[in-house]
Amino acid sequence: MIKPHGSDELNPLYVYNTQRRHALLAEAENLPSLLLNSAAAANAVMLGGGYFNPLTGYMNLADALSVAEKMHTVDGLFFPVPILNRTSETGIEAGSRIALRDPNVEGHPVLAIMDVEAVETISDEQNAFMAEKIFRTLDPQHPGVATFNSLGNILLSGPIDVLSFSYFQADFPDTFRTAVEIRNEIAEHGWEKVVAFQTRNPMHRAHEELCRMAMEQLDADGVLIHMLLGKLKPGDIPAEVRDASIRKMVELYFPPNTVMVTGYGFDMLYAGPREAVLHAVFRQNCGCTHLIVGRDHAGVGDYYGGFDAQTIFDEEVPADALQLEIFKADHTAYSKKLNKVVMMRDVPDHTKDDFVLLSGTAVREMLGKGIAPPPEFSRPEVARILSDYYQSLET
């Protein structure tokens, strides 16, 4: 199986030993506490699950600035975005040991214990520098920039022991999986070549066929459909609705034992190209050999060019940085001429009128009225689940 990023073995930070975990939870009750923001909590969950291997905790300011600028730490470890614990809390000192509490679960239970190696202040200039490098914009209307600017200017760095996976295990018991669990399941299947498909949305016919195209062209053993389960921007479809619609599609339209439907506990960054590279890092840690990167991968609005998330791998990611490879996908749509879903780049003789193309707004309006999109665009069983959701918003 493909090696994890940066090490021979995956090193998740979750404390799996029950006795040690109980001892740390007991210790945490007597430690000073910090209530995390959702971004730092999501980072802890991802560190716990092995997704951010080989990191051992939150980055310090020098590493954060280096990663933002050059996609590697001061010591040379390739990493595409800073993994930070930012706060506005004062009074925390370097050398202290603190309990990190979960902002997303009632009662704010302990999520992790941190050994604070450094407490540093991020200047406005440093914050702007990092934001511009990560998001390619400083526009406060960009949801990722808005969140990044709101996280506080005190930076805590150091190793952590993760004691919980937050609400993800309880809310999504059939879907949430750590990188450790996904690796184990890939091994159980005996899969060697595995394609990952990233999604924060329901999957329509074009997405379904894209997975099928990638499998066939790469002669892959299976597909990992890996959905984001964390915080999204207003208006995005809730994870439980996406989960139900994707599972229905896989159940009805893919051969048995060719697709794993899973999810991960992270908040969307909307960082376009940089987030695409982050997706590649943690899919390699999951044991995948390929990642589908399509049009406007992890983008939002008009902040990124349609294929910036592909060209970053050619222009900015060192050739030896990752073992995982990218499957570059064009916009896919149903061809009326050919009666099948195609990549637009493969049919230069087509005009726009030869495709079944619907905007997201148009689809939402149709579903809200109980009108199913054409079957060339969305499977009827998937459309029914989405329609029930949109109609529930009207009542």
Is 101 annotated in the active site? Answer: no
Q: From the candidates 11, 153, 200, 384, which is the catalytic residue? A: 200
Distance CA 282, CA 52 (A): 6
Alpha helices in the chain (DSSP H): 18-28, 38-48, 61-70, 124-135, 143-149, 168-171, 179-189, 205-218, 239-253, 273-286, 308-315, 360-368, 380-394
Say whether the peptide bond before residue 140 is cis (omega within 30 degrees of 0): no
CA separation, residue 325 to residues 283, 284, 302, 321 (Å): 10, 9, 26, 11
Please answer whether residues 112 and 166 qualify as being in contact, where contact means their C-beta atoms are separated by less than 8 angstroms: no
Q: What are phi and psi of 184, to 5 degrees?
A: -65, -40
Indicate the residue type of 264: Y
Please give the Cα distance from 155 to 62 (Å, whole number).
Answer: 11
Tokens 């430690």 -> residue: 31
Could you confirm whether 200 is annotated as catalytic?
Answer: yes
Catalytic residue among 127, 201, 212, 384: 201
CB 213: neighbour CB atoms within 10 A? 19
**What positions carry a catalytic annotation?**
200-201
